[in-house]
Amino acid sequence: MKEKIIHREEKLYKDPKLLTKFIILSAIGIFAFFIPIKVDGKSTIPLEYVISLFINSLPKVATAYAFIIIMIGAFRPFVKGTWKTDKVTIIFSFTKLIGAFFTLYLFSGYAPEAVARDDHGPFLFNSLAIQVGTLIPISAIFITFLMDYGFIDFIGNFLRPIMRAIWKTPGRTAVIAVAAFMGSTAVGVMMTDDLYRERKYTQREAVAVVTGFTTVAISFLIVIANTTDLMEYWGEYVFVSLFVTFALSAITVRIPPISTTPNRYYKDMEGYPEEKLEGNLFMASLNEGLTLCKEAGSVVPRTTKNVLDSFNLVFEVLPNFMSIGLVALIIANYTQVFDYFGYVLYPLTLLLRIPEPLLAAKAAMLGLAEMFLPVMVVTKAPLVTRFIISVMSVAQVIMFSTTIPTIVASEIDVSIKDLVIIWFERTVFCFLITTPIAFLLIK
């Protein structure tokens, strides 16, 4: 697409009232997502603290809320008559019903072990449904401050040269990557979906972002490191995980299916690509952010609208956590399906001389179902293997328990088949990149 050059005569950064509004709203959003705080001696971020405070203070309310959302989400497509829109919608409409059934089964007290065991139904409901169901609407408040009032456009324009050169995406992708890392995958997908519908991302760019930058939150990395006994290598683990995740994104954006995804805007309408700015890059980028801030209008009605809109995603995602996620866990723990799938990657893990290569291959395949599964099967493996698989759990990004239902629930046009292909590409390249690093770091 031909790059436009923009030159604004109006210097909005000279308007103290507008500049103050931009700074305050941006600061609130930045604080909520990005500023670590200490609570009871533990490091967290304000957004996670607020959500945890709500869930821990009102556990029965949080449980009832998630239960009701799952029920509404499951029956909503049939009440609205949207369940038969297309084949994908039909499939996911029925998986939502299955999710509602499993949830009712779980709460009935009569569920069999496969559903009721702590690391199956209760884990999915408490660690995913409640957490994500609470996270999405609350984070929508702070996403509004960052996205609708200019901060993302300011950062996007400022980082545009780097993001374009390496990842072929708009500069605002950097903010989404950090928001996902500090918040959750759902937050990253939601932000990308909003920007895609606002025609600030093309279809190809949106697919590249949701499959490459909406990684799991740092809180999940802590759980992974504790599970695989890697806290001694915490700094190395976090750095390598981020490096590999974004290195894979730079690779996959250049090969099919992402490279062949149509580079068109939402519903083939005219888009609003980031434009090359004249003059001082920082001041010009600030001016662009202030322009959006000026046009956004009052904070309360815009925030209210975004929070209400966010429930569309909540209704889509939560029931599928309890169906797709639970079925995947049952298959993984009660059948040998993933053992057989592991033979697909076994020649690669054997060639790379990874300790216990068949176990590493199986663990990698489990990542398609749920990001915690790989680390759960390598807890007793050699340290190098644990390190590689722990990095992979983060770098794969795509999984059926969270990412895929969230992406499918969005307006971003990408097939499940393509998502699985991208996941496989990321898995293969992850082994190739991470393995030599692990052998260098682990003595």
| The pLDDT of residue 18 | 92
Angle at 359 between CA 357 and CA 361, to 5 degrees: 70
What is the percent of the chain with per-residue pLDDT over 70, rounded to a whole number?
94
Q: Which helix (H) or strand (E) holds 42?
A: strand 42-44
Closest by CA position to 193, among listed 78, 310, 31, 79: 310
Burial 231-242 (b: 16+ CB within 10 A, else e): eebeebbbebbb
| The pLDDT of residue 23 | 94
Q: Is pLDDT at 228 greater than 70 in this prediction?
A: yes
Q: Is pLDDT at 1 greater than 50 in this prediction?
A: no
Point out the least confidently predicted range of 34-38, 269-273, 276-280: 276-280
What is the percent of the chain with per-residue pLDDT over 90, rounded to a whole number?
44
Q: Which domain holds residue 399?
A: 12-441
Average pLDDT for residues 14-39, to the nearest whole number?
87
- Which range of 225-229, 232-236, 366-370, 422-426 scores highest in mean pLDDT? It is 422-426
Mind listing the pLDDT tens digit for each residue in 377-391? 888 899 999 999 999
Q: Assess if residue 344 is contained within a domain.
A: yes
Q: Is pLDDT at 418 greater than 90 in this prediction?
A: yes
| The pLDDT of residue 219 | 63
Q: Is pLDDT at 4 greater than 60 in this prediction?
A: no
Q: Is pLDDT at 162 greater than 90 in this prediction?
A: no
CA atoms within 13 A on the CB side of 339: 4
pTM of the model: 0.75
CB-CB neighbours of 342 under 10 Å = 21
Closest by CA position to 137, among listed 50, 218, 205, 249: 50
* 160: its two tokens: 């545009």
Average pLDDT for residues 139-156, to the nearest whole number?
85
Banded model confidence at residue 354, pLDDT cuts 50, 70, 90: very high
What letter does residue 217 receive in the DSSP assignment? P
| The pLDDT of residue 43 | 66
Mind listing the pLDDT tens digit for each residue in 397-406? 998 877 887 8
DSSP 9-35: S--GGG-HHHHHHHHHHHHHHHHHHH-
| The pLDDT of residue 5 | 52
Q: Assess if residue 66 is contained within a domain.
A: yes
What's the mean pLDDT when you consider all of the chain? 87
* Spatial distance between the Cα atoms of 320 and 93, rounded to a whole number of angstroms: 9
Mind listing the pLDDT tens digit for each residue in 42-58? 767 788 788 889 999 99
Average pLDDT for residues 411-439, to the nearest whole number?
96
Average pLDDT for residues 419-427, to the nearest whole number?
97
| The pLDDT of residue 2 | 47
DSSP 373-390: HHHHT-TTS-HHHHHHHH
Evaluate whether 275 touches 200 at the Cβ level (below 8 Å).
no
Q: Assess if residue 5 is contained within a domain.
A: no
Number of domains making up the chain: 1
Banded model confidence at residue 135, pLDDT cuts 50, 70, 90: confident
Q: Assess if residue 345 is contained within a domain.
A: yes
Average pLDDT for residues 106-127, to the nearest whole number?
89
Q: Assess if residue 93 is contained within a domain.
A: yes
Q: Assess if residue 3 is contained within a domain.
A: no
Closest by CA position to 230, among listed 380, 386, 363: 386
Q: Assess if residue 6 is contained within a domain.
A: no
CB-CB neighbours of 2 under 10 Å = 4
| The pLDDT of residue 7 | 52
Which residues have C-beta within 8 Å of that of residue 338, sequence separation ≥ 6? Answer: 331, 332, 362, 365, 366, 369
Q: Assess if residue 385 is contained within a domain.
A: yes
Mind listing the pLDDT tens digit for each residue in 165-192? 899 988 878 777 776 765 567 778 888 9
- Specify the 3-state DSSP secondary structure of 400: coil
